[in-house]
Structure 1
Amino acid sequence: MKVTALPWFAALVLAGCVSQPLPPEEAEHRAAAVHLKEAGAKTTPAEQRAALYLASAAESYDLLDSPKSREAARVLYNKAATDLVLLLRSSENGALWNRPLTLTSGGTTWRLRYAAGNRSGTWEPGRFTSFTAASEVGLKTIESHNRQDGVGGALVGVRKMSPVEAFAPPIAGVTAPVTAVIDFKGRDATLTLVDPSEEPKARVKGSERTLDADFSAPLAYYPQRSEFWTGLMGALRVSHHMGTTGLYMLQPYDPDRIPLIFVHGLISTPQMWRNVINEVEKDPALRGRYQCWVFGYPTGNPPAYSALRFREELAKVRELYPNAKDYVLVGHSMGGLVSRMQATTLTRESWDVIGKDKAARFFSKVKKGDLIDRATAFEANPKVARLVFICTPHRGSEMALGSIGELGRRLIALPVDLTSVVTQTMGDSLSLVTGAPGRMPNSVTGLSPNNPALKVLDSEPMTAPYHTILGDRGKGDGALSSDGVVKYWSSHLTKAESEKVVPGPHGSCELPQTLEELRRILRLHLDKSGD
């Protein structure tokens, strides 16, 4: 019995990717595949290779509507577009990038121009410092591959500048999904870099076509470290990780998208959100409407101090991007408290709920504008439009009182400059607002149900609508139900716009029920905000 190769497989055979006899009916792809294979020869001059990639793309382009050949043509076209971008951006220190080129190979001359970017779904070619083929990015840390099949070269665009730009992840830079498409008019070629999250389709060869795109690869591109180990060290050895504090944009800033900011909890890092962000990006109703940012911080610090640093980062955003859309904050565990303090106003009078005498004694030693004043009295950020709390201990966690909490309190080492400022300023008065006599406050004391600061925070209203997602392991009922770390009585908020109890532990962020509820809330926000 004769075995006929699938068209896409035949294309790979012709391109030299696999070894297999080629059926006669696939011969029409031969020229495109041969040119593609020849273009891969690294000993050939870069401009000649680019001409060969264009020849392969043009020959495949002509077959995109062929009933018999369209799939093989698509595979070859996509490969040629991908490799052409990689070649031009990396060759001769970028000298071939983003300028008109005249390219010749085998007696055929091509004229290539780059399409300018605009705010309706195409990238400016100069926006990125490098590219990686999406197919080359490992996805081990991504649970669900979020991609779509179509036309064009699926790439990860990377922008990594020196010095590091504001809000850019310092190691990898800012990444984005990019799809490269090439249109032809005779020997004139136009290369366009499309943002598939904004425009899932593009006009290629006179027709609107779904783009080939990978939305998971830009997330997976970031270096993966041991999340637990890094988070643990960030909690225990805070001074070694203070430089990691910051607000990081995972995508190029877009004034037309709503900033969706994720804040992690104790013994964690921003990496914990990668699959959550991937699931948000999977929803066509949300993709292209939100831009995902993360706030990272060493979690051994007191929540009030981390919240102060978060406020400072958001103030920098407002200064740099005054017309940015209002934010949606998503906080897990202690990250929920850090987020809540962005949408709450605390005055010195707010602290009277712990006793007027205690509050007066405490603030008698606090100077207006110093670190302690800024961490304990502040105004809500009017740019915060909505909050989502996931397993957040608004009234503390009893775990902070037990042997595990005691161990954590003893092991956490705060930066010397921070402890010296606090102890020299406050002395014994500090315990009036921390509930921890004789101890420097840290994240564990901050999460204790005995911490007066939680009572103060809980007494003041939030200035934006909020939602709660709670975990329940099924080992208790009502107020005694728990996610294993936070009990219902602590995570429940009476005035929340919605409350969703999911059947899971404290780390329930990636549960299907949690993800669906988060997507529902984000769609609701789009409807109510009019964005």
Structure 2
Amino acid sequence: MKISIILPSMAALLAIAACAPSRISDAEAGHRGAVAFLKQATRKALSPQERAALYLSSAAQSAKLLDSPEAGTAARETYNSSAADLTVLLASADGGRLWNKPLTLTSGGTTWRLRFAKPTRDGVWDPARFTAIVPASEVDMKHLDQRNRRDGIGGALVGVRKMSPPEPFAPPLAGVNAPVTAVLDFKGQDVTLSLLDPADKMNASISGKSRVIEGDFSAPLAHYPKGSELWDGLMGAIHVSAYMKNTGLYMLQPYDPDRIPLIFVHGLISTPRMWRNVVNEVESDPELRGKYQCWVFSYPTGNPPAYSALRFREELDRVYQLYPAAKDYVLVGHSMGGLISHMQVTTLTRDSWDIIGKKKADNFFAGVEKDKKESLLLRSTVFKANPHIGRVIFICTPHRGSEMALGSLGMIGMRLIALPVDLTATVTGALQTSLSEISGTPGRFPNSVTGLSPKNPTLKVLDQATITAPHHSIIGDRGKGDTPDSSDGVVPYWSSHLDSAKSEKIVPGPHGACEMPETITELRRLLLLHLGKN
């Protein structure tokens, strides 16, 4: 009887114990408090100052737990969210009135004294450089093949600088984007908000300890406006006038005199967007990231290559005038973009053209020199190599033309292209006849398709000129014929091969082989070579 009474009592006690909440650790309790602050900070009914103070309370509580075995990982996530959300709030609230100035912020009896870190050359951004701050987590990544991130401490952001009128070499519709990592360092109630460049900085001191900082290297690239590469490329080839205003050299990252300008030049029926995954791969590589700054040259591809090369030459001259201390550029050109890049590293004189026939050359230059308004033609045909180009990488480039320009597709393209009136109007009468002779287009004004014809005498002149910068070839092979009888489907090996190239890499792919793993690997090797790393 005694046992039968005791056993039910013990069972009841055990059941009660099982239902009682288990005791949480101090670290877990602290983290719950940080999460509560973070949740309160999102309440739009509060003033921006109160919300900012709550974000700081959340980050401060989380920072104390970063080394906790029980709550460290969760605390880091809360800290990162608090730092990112606080930075976005300060940049956007009250028309930016709270941005980049000392603040005293109070909430729930806690007062914080916040200041922004001063900019430095070693990876601390100037808050004043940005006109908007965007959370990296909210950027649509669907146009990139992969997202390149580095796990660490800090809020991952995109810093945007968009000015009106646009600054030199800034994409006019988007401005210039940059990777930003926001970190908060607490000394009692004094807080420093630092906007770091994760490409330049690997670590930051937080809570008395050096820690790896978070970095999202894809979000700034993905934040640029989307569009149809095929449609815009096609329209840029056919309706040239509508796209002439977009011709220019554009920075994809803020200018940095310590980084080498890496300039990508697209080909026919294409746009700079074709390089997005290639640029993303460069930015994903710790050995390249921070050493190069990526630029693109944009142009409507219906224009004759020599004219587009002239515009590129003028843009590079502008870069040197504005940034004379810039490091020598590295050019990467695909297809016709390679041909345009080729024309930046060769010198053509009046005598260079005698190779196509002295009489033809004499007739052309006699007409050009009569009228100064024809200087456009003179500058397109007589020019000096740019001494500030340190290396060129040609990808599937038709140095001697493509037979596709002679076929039915080429003929259709030739007839569809409508060149700008202000370009065609510069050439009239006898000069038009002599121009058509030296460009291999009897009876018509040259365009991009005629410029890629193997019969174009201009390519013969260019082929005889010395390339002044170290250069390399990446050549596609669809596997339809062994080199030297191979082709990428558009450009045959005999056209893309250069005896003078420092190296030549055959990749098993078609003409659009820029994003192939073998191409990316070779491009990386060459960029490291330029840095003296292999």
Which TM-score tier does this pair reach, normalised by the shorter chain?
A: over 0.9
Contact 2:177 2:254 in 1 (8 A): yes
2:388 equivalent to 1:386: no
Equivalence for 2:452: 447
Equivalence for 1:3: none
Give, in whole Å, the separation in 2 of the partners of 1:23 and 1:411: 77
Equivalence for 1:124: 126
1:413 to 405, 410, 418: 418
Kindly provide the CA deviation profile for residues 195-226 of structure 1, in whole angstroms up to 9, marking residues without a partner as x: 00011221212222111110000000011100
| Letter aligned with residue 58 of structure 2 | S
Equivalence for 1:503: 508
Equivalence for 1:433: 438
Matches within 5 A, 1:36-115: 36-115=38-117
Q: Aligned with 1:196: secondary structure?
A: coil
2:282 equivalent to 1:277: no
1:340 to 335, 342, 349: 342
Equivalence for 1:489: 494
Equivalence for 1:323: 325
1:423 deviates by 3.1
Equivalence for 1:377: 382
Give, in whole Å, the separation in 1 of the partners of 2:281 and 2:427: 42
Q: Aligned with 1:365: secondary structure?
A: helix
Please give the TM-score of this superposition, normalised by the length of structure 1: 0.94
Q: Tell me the number of residue pairs that the alignment of Structure 1 and Structure 2 aligns.
A: 509
Q: Aligned with 2:479: secondary structure?
A: coil
Kindly provide the CA deviation profile for residues 34-71 of structure 1, in whole angstroms up to 9, marking residues without a partner as x: 11001001121001100000000000011111121110
Q: Summarize the Cα distance change of 1:266–1:260 in structure 2 as closer, same or farther, 3 Å threshold.
A: same
Contact 1:366 1:425 in 2 (8 A): no
Q: Aligned with 2:468: secondary structure?
A: coil
Equivalence for 1:169: 171
Q: Summarize the Cα distance change of 1:22–1:47 in structure 2 as closer, same or farther, 3 Å threshold.
A: farther
Contact 1:359 1:432 in 2 (8 A): no
Q: Aligned with 2:426: secondary structure?
A: helix
Deviates more, 1:362-371 or 1:346-355: 362-371
Give, in whole Å, the separation in 1 of the partners of 2:65 and 2:493: 61
Matches within 5 A, 1:211-222: 211-222=213-224
**Aligned Cα root-mean-square deviation (Å):** 1.4
1:479 deviates by 2.5
Kindly provide the CA deviation profile for residues 301-322 of structure 1, in whole angstroms up to 9, marking residues without a partner as x: 0000000000111111111111
2:530 to 513, 521, 525: 525
Kindly provide the CA deviation profile for residues 87-115 of structure 1, in whole angstroms up to 9, marking residues without a partner as x: 00001111100000000101111000000
1:174 deviates by 0.2
Equivalence for 2:6: none
1:75 deviates by 0.3
Kindly provide the CA deviation profile for residues 440-459 of structure 1, in whole angstroms up to 9, marking residues without a partner as x: 10000000000000000010
Q: Aligned with 1:359: secondary structure?
A: helix
Deviates more, 1:251-260 or 1:418-427: 418-427
Please give the TM-score of this superposition, normalised by the length of structure 2: 0.94
Contact 2:432 2:445 in 1 (8 A): no
| Letter aligned with residue 521 of structure 1 | L
Equivalence for 2:473: 468
1:402 deviates by 0.3
Q: Summarize the Cα distance change of 1:325–1:207 in structure 2 as closer, same or farther, 3 Å threshold.
A: same
Equivalence for 2:181: 179
| Letter aligned with residue 410 of structure 1 | R
Deviates more, 1:416-425 or 1:76-85: 416-425
1:235 deviates by 0.1
1:24 deviates by 4.1
Equivalence for 2:11: none
Give, in whole Å, the separation in 2 of the partners of 1:133 and 1:413: 43
Q: Which runs of 5+ in 1 are unaligned?
A: 1-20
| Letter aligned with residue 401 of structure 2 | G
Q: Aligned with 1:192: secondary structure?
A: strand
| Letter aligned with residue 74 of structure 1 | R
Q: Aligned with 2:532: secondary structure?
A: helix
Q: Summarize the Cα distance change of 1:22–1:440 in structure 2 as closer, same or farther, 3 Å threshold.
A: farther
- Percent identical among aligned pairs is 67
1:144 deviates by 1.6
Contact 1:54 1:80 in 2 (8 A): yes
Q: Summarize the Cα distance change of 1:177–1:23 in structure 2 as closer, same or farther, 3 Å threshold.
A: farther
From the CA coordinates, give the structure whose radius of gyration is larger.
2
Give, in whole Å, the separation in 1 of the partners of 2:427 and 2:479: 42
Give, in whole Å, the separation in 1 of the partners of 2:22 and 2:458: 73
Deviates more, 1:185-194 or 1:201-210: 201-210
Q: Which runs of 5+ in 2 are unaligned?
A: 1-20
Q: Aligned with 1:132: secondary structure?
A: strand
1:480 deviates by 2.0
